[in-house]
Amino acid sequence: MPVKLILYSTSHCHLCEQAETLLKICEINNNLSWESVEISENMKLLELYATKIPVIKRIDNNEEIAWPFTVSEISNLIRLSL
């Protein structure tokens, strides 16, 4: 079963585009799926993440990493046990 992640981001964010590239690299070597969530469409998400994006959240245990992060840090997030 793949690890499911959310990428909290916003449009026209070059850091968010970099985070997407890192996630695509991680997809090659790991069993994961992810979706991008636009924070500007939700006031609660905007309040939580506006100054932190991009943020990757693991759905099953709510662990998060905020920018800056690397492929290694994403891989560590994927391997975290519940």
Domain borders along the chain are: 1-53
Q: Where do we find the tokens 């909290």? A: 8
**pLDDT tens digits for 40-55?**
999 999 999 999 999 9
**pLDDT at 50 (0 to 100):** 93
Residue ranges in the chain whose pLDDT is less than 70 = 81-82
**pLDDT at 82 (0 to 100):** 43
**pLDDT at 29 (0 to 100):** 81
Q: In CATH, what number does 1-53 get?
A: 3.40.30.10
pTM for the model: 0.93
**pLDDT at 1 (0 to 100):** 83
* Distance in angstroms (rounded) separating the CA atoms of residues 65 and 57: 7
5, 77, 27, 12: CA torsion to nearest 10: 60
